[in-house]
Structure 1
């Protein structure tokens, strides 16, 4: 079996789809971990890992999409990749993938080029779109990906979902605790 038989477009589509999901999952995880007070000493490292994995994910998803354009078995048109729910093959799940891509692209674009122009409050609101984008990636990959029936791939998705949810819940609990610390307590004076 030659190398070109092993790495045909169908294999590359799956490979780069999984790689993009892995990198985006790492980016989301490192981004949240960077907000933890207990990891303050590692904040710069976590931020760099967050950015690097986001860009690696974007490069992998672009190759994933390119392979879809040139695949001979189930080729996509460019419009099917860029406009949600227009794909001839599984339009709903393909559309979810397109929306996830567009949301992620908007987050990366505004983070790297427009954060000062937009201002921090608006930038934060746009940056939160990474969570529905990531969830869209989960749905797209788990239900449209042909490898999801493979137990290793299935458990890869399940374990990554578990990790992101645990980090997210921990971050939410930390944020709630931080808000409680900064909320002045009211003294109750009772009259006798």
Structure 2
């Protein structure tokens, strides 16, 4: 059916897809202009994050058993030590660690943290997403496929638009609150 290298690519692509969906719904959920369906957006955000983590775990495990381009544990856990494209592999490793920090602090440690610290850590998801975007785009063997190129362009564009809407919406909300206090 599929060999390990194909499964590695599929799982890596699925991890990217689910993390992208999670980031998009997370950004939209807190966008002030979206008032309805915040609970649905939260659950989509949360579940996509966990599905991304599951796909990522499979991606990493398959890298360890692949016969074509096997990775050693140290190459996966220590950035820039991989024999195969060390810088691009490191982007994936760093993205993995940041996503793990975000997911663990959000689901396991959130009750023990103050909100400001949690929020600062949670926004690390954007640099983590950029790292896995670059990792997938430049190390992915399917990146030359026009459909995959379009997918990366679309997902990158949606993340940029959602980020702008989030920042702009927060700015407008803060400005309106400040004007209400003065008036």
Q: C-alpha separation between the residues in 2 aligned to 1:116 and 1:15?
A: 35
Question: Displaced runs of 4+ in structure 1, greater than 2 A?
Answer: 36-41, 184-187
Deviation at 1:29, TM superposition (A): 0.3
Name the Cα RMSD after superposition: 1.4
Contact 2:91-2:131 at 8 Å conserved across structures: yes
Matched, 1:177 2:177: no
Extract unaligned runs of 5+ from structure 2. Answer: none
Structure with max Cα Rg: 1
Determine if the alignment matches structure 1 residue 32 to structure 2 residue 10: no
Partner of 1:72: 67
- Confirm whether residue 139 of structure 1 aligns to residue 165 of structure 2: no
* Residue 184 of structure 1, CA deviation: 3.9
Structure 2 length-normalised TM? 0.96
Deviations 1:72-118 (A, max 9, x none): 01000011111111111111000010000000000000000111111
Higher normalized contact order (CA 8 Å, seq sep 6+, divided by chain length): 2
2:121 counterpart residue number:
126
Q: State the alpha-carbon separation in 2 of the partners of residues 12 and 154 from structure 1.
A: 20
Give 5+ residue unaligned stretches, structure 1.
188-192
Residues 131-174 of structure 1 deviation map (CA, whole Å, 9 limit, x = unaligned): 00000011000001110011111111111000111111111111
Provide the TM-score with structure 1 as the length reference: 0.92
Q: How many residues align?
A: 182
Displacement after TM superposition at 1:37 (Å): 3.0
